Amino acid sequence: MAASLAVLGGPPAFATPLRTGCPNILDPTATAALVSDAMARRWLTNEGPLVQRLEERFAALHGVRHAVAVANATLGLQLAAAAMGIAGEVVVPSFTFIGTVHAMSWIGLRPVFCDVSADTHTLDAARLEAALTPDTAAIIGVHLWGRPCDIDPIQRVADARGVPVLFDAAHATGSTRGGTPLGRFGRAEVFSLHATKSINGLEGGLVTTTDDDLAERLRRLRNFGFNAGGRVVSRGINAKMNEFSAAMALSNLAGFDRLCAHNRAIHDAYRHGLAGLPGVRLCEHPAADVPSGHYAVIEVDDTAPLGRDALCRVLVAERVNPRRYFRPGCHRSPPYAFEPLRHPLPVTERLTQALMHLPTGLQMNPDDATAMAAVLGRALAEAPRVRAALAAPAP
């Protein structure tokens, strides 16, 4: 496919739009069959058989005792924090989806932002200690782009202070740390099955833990405080997953290995195509740790002839929808922006200006990734012309 720059007047490079986050539906026929079964059973929610099967399969994939299905990961984070009984401040990266921080704030926890590491984009364990105060109730690590946090150093800091760790694993289905699947670290980990995630369950999430008591509390909290005997024994809320979400997630989970292989091939094409482009690099995650390859993230540094935002506009003109996750940073978004920042966040500030996510998944093939890299290469090579085209008033 010939690369062209629509901002310079050529036809768009892609006839069909490519969207970062476009949902993967691996086997529509299998999904439809599961949905049809659920309708025939007329058991559609409240811990139905498909939800139970999904919990078993997810727990097996992650090698963990408990996987508790919930309506979405945001509620999962809230349930986990509530089940852990924490109150006060939580140390959390600002470089994450706003949902991580909103989840905590919504239940009265006060976020204290800590910077991330430039290499991993996850909590910088070396800066963690300085963020702790006598009011710190928990540390929230986020396995961003599916890449595991520096789990051991974070846990050591937490243990020294006697505070629990909760991991936001929304991006990390199938990820491992040194051969050990995520899901058993900290007190709990919270995965997302949102449609844009590697395993699409329309909406949904799973909270994993090795702690039997915590799992029991989570099951109660997600269902209005009802215990297994059907009696209300505590506060609770409605955070239950429905059967259609479980059907979609189960059929996608069955093809997870195929999806991972497809995404790794796309990554290889991006890596090859972007090699040598000035100031642009593909952020690499060890394939053994992040098999899903779901996130293709590029970093555009100050030496690039065009900045991240200009390259983003070039791609949009080519019918690609890249995403600039996560800008402007939670600390710059209301209501957190109204609080004085306790600690500088230089890495976060830089990453919010520098990263761009490119499409992956079944909507495309490796040739599309090669064509996209060629578009970026041509834009960088013709930077003055591109800048002029972007500055020109719209016709």
Residues in the chain: 395
Pick one of 14, 95, 97, 270: the residue that binds ligand T4K (CB under 6 A). 97
C-beta of 228: minimal distance to ligand T4K in Å? 26
- Minimal CA–CA distance to 379: which of 283, 307, 290? 307
Contact between 192 and ligand T4K per CB under 6 A: yes
Q: In this chain, which of 45, 105, 117, 196 binds ligand T4K, going by CB under 6 A?
A: 196
**89, 168, 189, 368: residue in contact with ligand T4K (rule CB under 6 A):** 168
Residue with smaller CB distance to ligand T4K, 256 or 325:
325
Q: How far apart are CA 169 and CA 194, in angstroms?
A: 12
Cβ-Cβ contacts under 8 Å for 299 (sequence gap 6 or more):
280, 281, 283, 351, 354, 355
The yes or no reply on residue 332 touching ligand T4K (CB under 6 A) is no
Q: Binding to ligand T4K by residue 122, rule CB under 6 A?
A: no
DSSP 380: H
d(CA 198, CA 174): 9
The amino acid present at 227, given as its one-letter code, is N
Of 186 and 305, which CB lies nearer to ligand T4K in the complex structure? 186
Stretch that binds ligand T4K, among 39-47, 71-79, 244-252, 257-265 (CB under 6 A): 71-79
Nearest CA-CA partner of 342 in 108, 107, 136, 84: 136
**Piece of the chain touching ligand T4K by CB under 6 A; list 40-48, 109-117, 165-173, 223-231:** 165-173
**Shortest gap between Cβ of 372 and ligand T4K (angstroms)?**
14
- Are 163 and 131 in contact by the 8 Å Cβ rule? The answer is no
Q: How far is it, in rounded angstroms, from Cα 161 to Cα 76?
A: 25
Q: Min. distance of Cβ 96 from ligand T4K in angstroms?
A: 5
> Measured between alpha carbons, how far is 299 from 307 in angstroms, rounded to an integer?
10
Q: Is 194 a binder of ligand T4K (CB under 6 A)?
A: yes
Query: Number of residues in contact with ligand T4K, rule: CB under 6 A?
Result: 24
Dig out the tokens for 140 from the structure: 């929230």
* Least gap, CB of 305 to ligand T4K (angstroms): 26
> Within positions 251 to 310, which residues make up the interface with ligand T4K, using CB under 6 A?
none
From candidates 48, 93, 99, 174, binder to ligand T4K by CB under 6 A: 99
| Shortest distance (Å) from residue 157 CB to ligand T4K | 21
Distance CA 59, CA 173 (A): 11
d(CA 248, CA 31): 5
Q: What mask of x and - would describe binding to ligand T4K in positions 3 to 32, judged by CB under 6 A?
A: ----------------xxxxx---------
The residue of the chain with the least Cβ separation from ligand T4K equals 21
Residue owning tokens 């969207």: 19
Integer Cα distance of 382 and 10 in angstroms: 14
Interface residues toward ligand T4K, by CB under 6 A:
19-23, 72-74, 96-97, 99-100, 142, 168, 170-171, 192, 194-196, 205, 321, 323, 325
